[in-house]
């Protein structure tokens, strides 16, 4: 009887579906491990990892050494969007759709942007084929539209209508081919709206793209939700579709873009994640005005249980020295008196420079700045020295007469330097008469250009 039970257990294990996800990386970069994640919402959930091995492949009559790995999936691994990270340090990864089939792919690392090719997988091969085909057709349509905007002719108008029809036909063909596949959801969402007739003005063309960007994207679709598709689309819409060289117009566009994206999202948890994602992106580029807007208009309006006070305060701290902010106040002793930044009333503008006499680059650059500033009487320099000892600074500051001099002992552990988020010396900040930051942090050549443009 025991033998029969064991036999049944073994048979059950063999019957259970098992699928192989195999990848090769060439040329070999000596990667050690590959890490498997499943994408769920804005999170990537770690599942497991495998060792990366070296293999030798025959290509074009030559032997090539590659890195290879293989993951085994079974029926417990649900269909969906997965990610394999092979280079954690540089962010190297490949995304793929798993739908109960073996997958084989290769990644060419010799190109500026790694190229992924699926040798086996009905889902992924069809999807990559679709993306390649539709991209070529859509690029042609966009080129004809651009040509018409520069030189409107009846020929280009007719060519546009023909090209739009071609894009539509490709979309319909692949939608038909994808019936019953997981990728059907992504092919539908990747469709782009094209006006039936050529658009006659640049403004109308830009408005058309912004208005119809999300026409085919269903934010409630669980397959899109549990993939990188939505985040990628949101990122493109906010930062690329809504772009302007004019700073005032850019702020307006970003506000409208953020509002539109968040209006489309009904899932509260996902909305929180997207708000925090966009706030982080804007914070990284020190765009304080839009972050302030997002906090007041969206983040603070969330239910308290969904707000992360630690995250919010971290973003606010990181933007404390962003352009548009009032420079954090501090005081220092100079010639036996206490001097406070906010109380200075000596110039129309101020240059706050963080440097160190222990920094060789500073010792070359600070004298250059001093020479440049000799005839700039409408600008006052505040030189904040980050030092471990006072001795060398006492001597060096005498070579910079006319400047304000503050000593910051503790060097990288100095509290003022930490508040100003100084991570390299020299670091320059440009302040207006009210101590509002109008440039930060900037290289010397950029600083000179700003100073030359300041009103006396």
Q: Once rounded to an integer, what is the mean pLDDT over residues 151-179?
A: 97
* Predicted confidence (pLDDT) per residue in 111-159, tens digit: 999 999 999 999 999 999 999 999 999 999 999 999 999 999 999 999 9
pLDDT score of 16: 53
Q: Are 277 and 308 spatial neighbours (Cβ–Cβ below 8 Å)?
A: no
* Predicted confidence (pLDDT) per residue in 61-80, tens digit: 778 899 999 999 998 899 99
Task: Judge whether residue 7 has pLDDT over 60.
Answer: no
User: What band does 201 get if pLDDT is binned at 50, 70 and 90?
Assistant: very high
pLDDT score of 434: 95
* Predicted confidence (pLDDT) per residue in 25-60, tens digit: 999 999 999 999 999 988 999 999 999 999 887 777
Buried-state track 71-101, b at ≥16 Cβ within 10 A, e below 16: bebeeebeebbbbbbbeeeeebbbbbbbbeb
* Predicted confidence (pLDDT) per residue in 290-310, tens digit: 999 999 999 999 999 999 999
Q: Return the C-alpha torsion angle 271, 272, 277, 281, nearest 10.
A: 100
The mean predicted confidence, pLDDT, of the chain is: 93
* Predicted confidence (pLDDT) per residue in 419-435, tens digit: 999 999 999 999 999 99
Q: Is pLDDT larger for residue 197 or for residue 456?
A: 197
User: What band does 436 get if pLDDT is binned at 50, 70 and 90?
Assistant: very high
CATH class of the domain whose range is 331-453: alpha beta
pLDDT score of 17: 64
Task: Judge whether residue 377 has pLDDT over 80.
Answer: yes
Tell me the percentage of the chain whose pLDDT exceeds 70: 96
Whole-prediction pTM: 0.82
pLDDT score of 2: 44
Let me know if domain 2-119 sits in CATH 1.10.3720.10: no
């Amino acid at each position: 009887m025991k033998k029969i039970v064991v036999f049944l257990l073994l048979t059950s294990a063999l019957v259970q579906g098992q699928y192989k996800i195999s990848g090769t990386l060439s040329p070999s970069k000596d990667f050690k491990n590959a890490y498997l994640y499943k994408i769920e919402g804005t999170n990537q959930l770690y599942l497991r990892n495998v060792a990366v091995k070296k293999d030798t492949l025959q290509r074009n009559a030559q032997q090539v050494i590659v890195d290879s790995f293989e993951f085994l999936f079974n029926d417990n691994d649900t269909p969906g969007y997965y990610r394999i990270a092979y280079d954690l340090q540089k962010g190297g990864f490949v995304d793929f759709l798993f739908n109960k089939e073996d997958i084989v792919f290769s990644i060419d690392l010799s190109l500026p942007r790694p190229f992924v090719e699926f040798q086996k997988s009905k889902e992924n091969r069809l999807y990559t084929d679709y993306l390649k085909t539709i991209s070529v057709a859509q690029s042609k349509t966009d080129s004809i539209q651009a040509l018409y905007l520069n030189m409107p002719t009846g020929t280009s108008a007719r060519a546009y209508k023909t090209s739009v029809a071609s894009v539509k036909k490709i979309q319909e063909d692949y939608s038909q081919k994808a019936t019953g596949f997981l990728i059907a959801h992504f092919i539908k969402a990747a469709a782009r709206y094209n006006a039936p007739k050529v658009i006659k003005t640049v403004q109308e063309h830009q408005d058309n793209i912004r208005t119809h960007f999300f026409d085919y994207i269903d934010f409630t679709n669980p397959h899109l939700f549990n993939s990188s598709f939505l985040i990628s689309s949101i990122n493109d819409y906010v930062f690329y579709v809504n772009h302007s060289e004019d700073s005032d117009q850019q702020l307006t566009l970003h506000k409208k873009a953020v509002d539109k994206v968040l209006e489309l999202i009904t899932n509260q948890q996902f909305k929180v994640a997207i708000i925090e994602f966009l706030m982080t992106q804007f914070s990284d580029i020190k765009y304080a005005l839009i972050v302030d807007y997002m906090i007041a208009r969206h983040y603070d309006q969330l239910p308290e249980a969904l707000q992360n006070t630690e995250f919010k305060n971290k973003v606010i701290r990181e933007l404390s020295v962003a352009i548009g902010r009032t420079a954090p106040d501090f005081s220092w002793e100079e010639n036996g008196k206490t001097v406070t930044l906010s109380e200075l009333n000596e110039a129309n503008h101020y240059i706050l420079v963080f440097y160190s006499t222990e920094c060789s680059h500073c010792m070359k650059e600070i004298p250059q700045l001093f020479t440049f500033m000799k005839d700039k009487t409408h600008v006052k320099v505040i030189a904040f020295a980050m030092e471990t000892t006072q001795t060398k600074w006492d001597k060096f500051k005498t070579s910079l007469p006319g400047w304000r001099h503050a000593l910051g002992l503790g060097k990288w552990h100095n509290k003022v330097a930490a508040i100003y988020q100084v991570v390299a010396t020299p670091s320059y900040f440009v302040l207006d008469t009210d101590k509002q930051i109008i440039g930060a942090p900037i290289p010397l050549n950029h600083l000179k250009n700003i100073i030359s443009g300041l009103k006396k």
